[in-house]
Amino acid sequence: MSVPRPKALRLETLWNPPADGEEFSYVLRLKNLGTEPLSNFSLCVSGPGRVDPAGRVEGATVSQRLSNFTEFQPPANFVLSAGETWTISVYALSWQFRHWTDGATSGYLALSDGSTIVLSIEPTRSSVSNAPLKRGAEIYPVPVNAPVQVSIIPWPNHVAVASRRPLPAGFAPQAQSAAGEAATRSFAALVEHLFAVEGIVRSEAEGAVPVALKDAAGYGPEAYWLSFEGETITIEASSQTGFLYGLVTLGQIWRGARLHPEVFQFPATGEIVDEPSMGWRGLHLDVARQFYGAAEIKKLLAVLAWNKLNRFHWHLSDDEAWRVEIDAYPDLTEVGAWRGHGLAVPPLLGSSPARTGGYYTKAAIREIVGHAKSLGVEIVPEIDMPGHCYAMLQAIPELRDPAEVGSYYSVQGFPDNCINPAREKTYEIVETILSELIELFPFKTIHLGADEVPLGAWSGSPEALEHLLSVAGDEVAGAHAKRLNVVTNTHGADDIHGSGAAILQAEFLSHVQRFLASKGCITGGWEEAAHGDVIDRSKSYLCSWRNVEVSAELAERGYEMVVCPGQVYYLDMALRPDWDEPGASWAGTSDAEKLYNFDPIGGWTASQKQKLLGIQACIWSEPMTDRAVFDRLVFPRLSALAETGWTKPSSKSWERFRALAGLMPLLYGLQQS
């Protein structure tokens, strides 16, 4: 069979929003720009947007679909001649497109001999916008007249510095204790990682000014005191992290004065007295939808430390992949860590037909955990259960009731993606996995997920229904059985409150939470883990994502809260509602200013505030195929969150933040051009 050369095949995609009573359409055009005809093929695409199974497609039939992966078949005996275009019009999407990253981000042809041809593909265009597509972090220029003389993010509790001295060439920290020495080492590694060429830490032979690190009692675990007195710079703290944070503040002041000498100063006298207002200042990263290698994670941790963020919530599993090595179940990574044409998990979210993906070995995780610890960051691993388990179920089918019939779909369009809470085998497997995980993560806090279980989950499982009957009675079990094959999740995640699915999920969570507690671990969960109030509130915490009201209500019910409402703290949400902005906007859009000014505990009562652990930003990775999109969506919003978690509300100032934000590091260094 002769086929056109891959370069001669191009896929263009176009979004036509609904207008003047016309329905919307998503149009895919495959162009044969070569000299050979093309036949006996199908077209496979993936990207965040999903073709809905229930709707109309013209020009092709859908032969396979899994979440956002779709395979289109041309009409029988179709030949795409040289110079011709095959047009497919899709009138059925699970949600309408709003941003340029919503459409197909990869495409390939599957040929009848089993081989594939990768297509060159451009971002989806919108028929109503021809604005240049935005990628890369927004630029925050340092203004000539900054409102402050020293450049520090997050802004400290108390800053009283004065007069200018010549900028030191760099610093030579002088430690007096093990904590000070450890902080000196981690600070040297941190600045080498983030700003190698600047030589912030250097020897006195190279002109460094000494910085005395003095151990002193009475400081909180992250607090420090930094003082300037002529030639003498001193940091007092009572912990490694306190010293590290004092050094970070010093390094930030130095960088501002060095890079913008006309704007910022290096103080000659005065002091900074500092500690955070919130204990939990976190970032969540989804490494299932897109894989991030150990080097990316380590750099991200360095960026967290520079922002004085102290928790990394590592979302290690989801429908699309499993990312952590587990000795007892090698298939979890052999099967679950990879996507590709013909594999158990097909290409999704822009991944290619070739086998791509990856996972973290135990050795890599130990190294990352040690690196994080040295930077004052504790890591919370998440294994998302009992929903979001499609990849896990591909690797370990025993997590399903073998007699299960019918189908239910998750909000992301995965069928039957929940592990079965009524099976003993499930607990044996989950406890084995968690035991291995506990060994790896010394912070002893394990997040179990528990988000977005579909209303119809397990409604076709005889084992689950029998169990439901025994714990909740006839009526509930009967009602649940009737959900079989009923389409739900059509307008966002189901609210499962009070349903059979919620009762079964609660059974699962209470069992696993007790297991974790027996191993000395705190259990984390998304807000849905509160259904049925079965987990022990003194040994757990929740991440609330729907809105501020939900957070306050859960705090009222006695849960320890990490607040992360999707509308503002989900960093996969676009900066603005425009087509040329990348990202999603199902929960809302927010630029850095809106995020900065958002009050995460607005309207909370004093007793609810007692339950606040802190806040975190969440990076979900569906649109992050392109890392320039990552930098745009994450920075400087991450620093805006860091300042909200650290700085007292009365000391916050968007004007100051905006003047300093441009000094903060990006992960990939990709700026808007």
Contacting residues toward ligand TNX, per CB under 6 A = 286, 451-452, 526, 545, 570, 572, 584, 620, 622
Nearer to ligand TNX, 560 or 572 (CB): 572
- Do 22 and 73 touch, CB atoms closer than 8 A? no
Q: Quick count: other Cβ atoms within 10 Å of Cβ 211?
A: 24
Residue in the block written with tokens 């960088």:
255
| CB of 25 vs ligand TNX, minimal distance in Å | 24
In whole angstroms, what is the distance from residue 197 CA to residue 540 CA? 43
| CB of 663 vs ligand TNX, minimal distance in Å | 29
| CB of 83 vs ligand TNX, minimal distance in Å | 41
Nearer to ligand TNX, 526 or 630 (CB): 526
Nearer to ligand TNX, 315 or 341 (CB): 315
| CB of 564 vs ligand TNX, minimal distance in Å | 9
In whole angstroms, what is the distance from residue 523 CA to residue 445 CA? 6
| CB of 622 vs ligand TNX, minimal distance in Å | 6
Nearer to ligand TNX, 101 or 186 (CB): 101
Cα distances (Å, whole numbers) of residue 353 to 4, 101, 345, 356, 439: 18, 19, 11, 8, 35
Q: CB under 8 Å to 146, separation ≥6 — which residues? A: 263, 264, 656, 659, 660
Q: Quick count: other Cβ atoms within 10 Å of Cβ 203?
A: 11
Nearer to ligand TNX, 142 or 584 (CB): 584
| CB of 195 vs ligand TNX, minimal distance in Å | 32
Checking phi first, is residue 452 left (phi over 0); if not, alpha (psi -120 to 50) or beta?
A: left
Nearer to ligand TNX, 451 or 463 (CB): 451
Q: CB under 8 Å to 525, separation ≥6 — which residues? A: 447, 448, 449, 450, 509, 535, 540, 541, 542, 543
Residue in the block written with tokens 């927010």:
590
Checking phi first, is residue 314 left (phi over 0); if not, alpha (psi -120 to 50) or beta?
A: beta
| CB of 110 vs ligand TNX, minimal distance in Å | 27
Nearer to ligand TNX, 378 or 622 (CB): 622
| CB of 369 vs ligand TNX, minimal distance in Å | 23
Cα distances (Å, whole numbers) of residue 537 to 508, 518, 527, 533, 560: 16, 15, 13, 8, 7
Q: Quick count: other Cβ atoms within 10 Å of Cβ 370?
A: 11
Cα 312 to chain centroid, rounded: 10
Nearer to ligand TNX, 171 or 545 (CB): 545
Q: Which of 150, 304, 392, 233 is nearest to 617 (CA)?
A: 304
Nearer to ligand TNX, 387 or 500 (CB): 387
| CB of 562 vs ligand TNX, minimal distance in Å | 12
Tokens describing residue 673:
């051009």
| CB of 315 vs ligand TNX, minimal distance in Å | 8
Q: CB under 8 Å to 279, separation ≥6 — which residues? A: 613, 614
Nearer to ligand TNX, 358 or 588 (CB): 588
| CB of 620 vs ligand TNX, minimal distance in Å | 3
| CB of 414 vs ligand TNX, minimal distance in Å | 10
User: Is cis: bond before 154, omega within 30 of 0?
Assistant: yes
Nearer to ligand TNX, 237 or 561 (CB): 561
In whole angstroms, what is the distance from residue 51 CA to residue 26 CA? 9
Nearer to ligand TNX, 411 or 422 (CB): 411
| Strand (E) or helix (H) holding 11 | strand 9-16
- Do 629 and 583 touch, CB atoms closer than 8 A? yes
